[in-house]
Amino acid sequence: MKITSIVNLKGGTGKTTTSVAMIELLSRKERVLGIDNDKQGNLSQAFKRYTPERMIGSSVMLLTGKTRGNILHTENPYIDIIPCNIYMEKAEKEVLLGNVAQHDRYQKALSELVGYERCIIDNPPDIGMNVVNALIASDEIIIPINLDNYSLDGMVEMMSQIQNITEINRKANLTGILITDFEKTEAALQAEEWLRKEYGKRIFSIKIRHSRQAKDATLCQVPVTQYSSRCGATQDYKKFIEEYLRRER
């Protein structure tokens, strides 16, 4: 099972939208496990599997090393998910109080899983113990960025923080940086130029266009790629998957 973490330490950069789109598009060929690692539970909502009440049956339990009983089926037979909710905050504090090894719990729990070709982990905009765990379990990392959202500030620090964590144990590849929610303004074009100069081939050549349908899809709790097959964001996410799979080979 190939494990990919979608990460950015800032909020609103398209992490969840990208995770959900990747899960849905990849599920057309493979069995995919989606993990919601953000206590806001947006990925869980996108697959209609959010519940605020319990911590059993969520990624909170991954932190305690248990996968069994936490995986939920969705309406799509090729997609299962491990949801998340506010209990993650409490679990993280508890884990920090214990003094046994804490950073490889996801890795251990996920290594026992069979039946999935892919696992996509949607992360929150911070580096808590759950994110450290996700990064250490991951084979690769994708960073979505939104050029309009002060995303370029702190980019360098973020890259080095991520690198430090992945070096603790196993080196995850930075597969790439994906520009999301793109609107063609002079400022955005300048930001893109800077980014491509700075990070070169690490930036995916495809960009995800801003589409109203991406937001509408969240209200209906479905992936945008399912909500609208024709909107710009869906077309771009499809091309992104092609580029992503080409890079893999």
**Beta partners for residue 146, in sequence order:** 180
Euclidean distance between CA atoms 132 and 236, whole angstroms: 30
Nearer to Mg ion, 16 or 70 (CB): 16
Q: With CB under 6 A as the contact rule, which of the stretches 86-94, 128-136, 155-163, 207-215 interacts with ligand ADP?
A: 207-215
| Angle at CA of residue 85, ends 54 and 21, nearest 5° | 130
Q: Which stretch binds ligand ADP (CB under 6 A): 5-13, 54-62, 76-84, 238-246?
A: 5-13
Among residues 7, 9, 15, 165, the one that binds ligand ADP under rule CB under 6 A: 15
Q: Which stretch binds Mg ion (CB under 5 A): 40-48, 49-57, 135-143, 216-224?
A: 40-48
Q: How far is the CB of 122 from ligand ADP (least distance, A)?
A: 7
Question: How many chain residues bind ligand ADP (CB under 6 A)?
Answer: 17
In this structure, the number of other CB atoms found within 10 A of the CB of residue 224 comes to 25
- What is the 3-state composition of the chain as percent helix, strand, coil, each rounded to the nearest 5? 45, 15, 40
Smallest distance from Mg ion to CB 92, Å: 17
Is the CB of 109 or the CB of 143 nearer to ligand ADP? Answer: 143
CB-wise, 26 or 109, nearer to ligand ADP?
A: 26
Cβ-proximal residues to 190 (8 Å cutoff; 6+ apart), any chain:
none
The residue length of the chain stands at: 249
* Phi, psi angle pair for 80, to nearest 5°: -115, 155
- Asked if 72 touches ligand ADP (CB under 6 A), the answer is no
42 binds Mg ion (CB under 5 A): yes
* Alpha-carbon separation of residue 203 from 27, 65, 137, 176, 233 (angstroms): 24, 34, 23, 6, 17
Q: Does 22 bind ligand ADP (CB under 6 A)?
A: no
Window contacting ligand ADP (CB under 6 A); options: 22-30, 57-65, 83-91, 211-219: 211-219
- Nearest CA to 102 among 65, 70, 139? 65
Q: Which residues bind ligand ADP (CB under 6 A)?
A: 11-17, 42, 180-181, 208, 210-211, 214-215, 218, 233
